Structure 1
């Protein structure tokens, strides 16, 4: 197979048209293609889910906590093929993140909103008899049900 035939076949496989025709026996040093055309031909379908790193940023925690929440069944996830590198990855649906944030609040977030140290916030919650929603050792962070924190006054005093 000649270079000309190979070039024509590669363009056909990618769904591209050669920008010019090559004369028989002509040699070339490179091929000029539009990267957007190549990206369209190579990329798979886009996924709606968010990767674990983005989920961790949205929840204000780190990757390990998100992985633990998924493993413990507190955060629903699914596996899908990455549209760019075609490797399987774990994704979380945006609706699941909204549900989780509406149901749970982290100790870190509570302390930050009320401008308290985390230890002080934890002591106030313990004194009020409020228990974490999950075992902090299992998940790697402390989360509370928002409805149990709801009307509780835990100001700086």
Structure 2
């Protein structure tokens, strides 16, 4: 069976790249991954593999590029890592505010993203290794200093953002 992993795809079903979750599940299962499940329509996958996270990342990206013809970038986390990300959220949950985890490929990416960047008056963030926790009022997620920095082309292969509710659903699927 192998170890369970959460695979977070970046940039699908929010821009020009459209992938049906049923197709995504079938392609990954055909590539040899086990227990493949998709969650929501925003590129969240739980799967089992007899490999480490870096190997899973490389294999998934290769399969997606070949089958769907786009520059696929994913971030892979183990079940304990996903649970730790949720437990580490530092701001609590407040009505009217989005609670996000910006997942990155490495801690250096988080440092680069926030380097010399001042938060907008309505947002706050906190770095935690390769995760950047972010809180912002609902409806303003695309208008803040951090969101504008994250939208830069150089970060496309390095980051993806999920709200805490999505992370909790992924954690539940991981067990």
The bucket for the TM-score relative to the shorter chain is under 0.3
**Bigger relative contact order, structure 1 or 2 (CA pairs below 8 A, ≥6 apart):** 2
Structure label with greater radius of gyration: 1
Relative to its length, the structure with more strand (as a share) is 2
With normalisation by structure 2, the TM-score equals 0.22
With normalisation by structure 1, the TM-score equals 0.24
Relative to its length, the structure with more helix (as a share) is 1
